[in-house]
Amino acid sequence: VSAGNSQARRVGDWAHIKPVIDYDECTKCRICFVYCPDSAITIGKDDFPIVNYGACKGCNICYTECPVKAISLVRREEPV
């Protein structure tokens, strides 16, 4: 397994912040899903994105790329 592969290793434990999606604001555009470099965001049955915090390294790309600013960053209180 190559280094940095969050599909095979739990990498979310080192993140200090986590992205939280406001489903009232989310337009289901899937940009967060497309841009996530670690595939930590999947699309649920209702077409809303779901964050797998065990795979999320807290890079904040989803937060930066969200066109409607439906993602906020929250400090993690405890490990995933």
The string of pLDDT tens digits covering residues 55-80 is: 999 999 999 999 999 999 999 876 55
The whole-number pLDDT of residue 51 equals 97
Tell me the whole-structure pTM to 2 decimals.
Answer: 0.81
Asked if residue 3 belongs to a domain, the reply is no
* DSSP-derived secondary structure letter, 12: G
Q: Could you tell me the residue range of the domain that residue 51 belongs to?
A: 12-74
CA distances from 60 to 9, 16, 40, 57, 66 (A): 19, 11, 12, 8, 10
Which stretch of 2-16, 43-57, 58-72 has the lowest confidence by average pLDDT?
Answer: 2-16
The whole-number pLDDT of residue 1 equals 45
Query: For position 67, which CATH number holds?
Result: 3.30.70.20
Q: How confident is the model at residue 8 (pLDDT cuts 50, 70, 90)?
A: low
Asked if residue 45 belongs to a domain, the reply is yes
Provide the number of structural domains found in the chain.
1
Whether residue 5 is predicted with pLDDT greater than 90 in this model: the reply is: no
Distance CA 34, CA 14 (A): 23
Two structure tokens written together for 56: 């999320």
Distance CA 7, CA 52 (A): 11
